[in-house]
């Protein structure tokens, strides 16, 4: 690869599998130092081992994105190991398939804690280190369901819509401080999490997609995330 990211140090939440793992791979191949944060410790360490065996430089740090202490730990570890943090991908997320009446307070709180509070905490803790480094870039992974509505996913829509507007607010706040903050809004992708949905739901998503299929992760389809950093 081109080595475009040779001087970058990126923290990736939810980086052990799916979209997050694809981010980790492409960043490492382009020369970035990669800190993978996730609750899936075995999968995260396996990915780190693979990246490092291929000549990359990566480390796994357990991360619960809903906890500020956990964010403090991963950012501190990144700075201790690599001297700085320049980039953040707020990728960790969970789904919730309940409608307005059937959703529970517990389910709502869990979905928003990961998808919404986790994104805010990632920015809150990482930005001071980016300012020390002279600037940086943040990519918040929202969803097409952060833009449009659907039936039966009230908490998910609420949390992903919040990511979209949090990103806009933070981007304006730090635009003059050399920190770029963007959100991206993927449709449904064939990740391990997505494939746990019942087949009937997957077929509904396919039916709403003009090409009639889900997104598959290939090196080409991963590239656009890389262009933000």
Instruction: Name residue 138's beta-bridge partners.
Output: 88, 181
Q: Is 156 a catalytic residue?
A: yes
List all residues 6 or more positions away from 49 whose beta carbon is below 8 Å from its beta carbon: none
Catalytic residue among 156, 174, 201, 224: 156
- Active site positions, annotated: 156
């Amino acid at each position: 690869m081109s080595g475009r990211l040779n001087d970058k140090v990126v923290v990736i939440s939810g980086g052990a599998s799916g979209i997050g793992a694809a981010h980790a791979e492409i960043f490492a191949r382009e020369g970035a130092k990669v800190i993978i944060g996730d609750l899936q410790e075995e999968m995260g360490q396996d990915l780190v081992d693979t990246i490092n065996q291929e000549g990359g430089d990566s480390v796994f740090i357990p991360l619960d994105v809903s906890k500020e202490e956990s964010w403090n730990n991963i950012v501190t570890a990144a700075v201790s190991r690599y001297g700085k943090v320049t980039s953040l991908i707020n990728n960790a997320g969970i789904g919730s398939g309940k409608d307005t009446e059937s959703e529970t307070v517990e389910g709502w709180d869990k979905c928003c804690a990961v998808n919404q509070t986790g994104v805010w905490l990632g920015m809150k803790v990482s930005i001071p280190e980016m300012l020390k480094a002279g600037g940086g870039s943040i990519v918040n992974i929202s969803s097409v369901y952060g833009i449009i509505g659907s039936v039966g996913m009230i908490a998910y829509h609420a949390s992903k819509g919040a990511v979209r507007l949090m990103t806009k607010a933070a981007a304006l706040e730090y635009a003059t401080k050399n920190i770029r903050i963007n959100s991206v809004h993927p449709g449904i992708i064939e990740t391990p999490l997505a494939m746990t949905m019942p087949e009937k739901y997957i077929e509904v998503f396919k039916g709403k997609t003009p090409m009639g299929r889900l997104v598959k992760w290939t090196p080409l389809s991963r590239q656009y995330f890389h262009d933000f950093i």
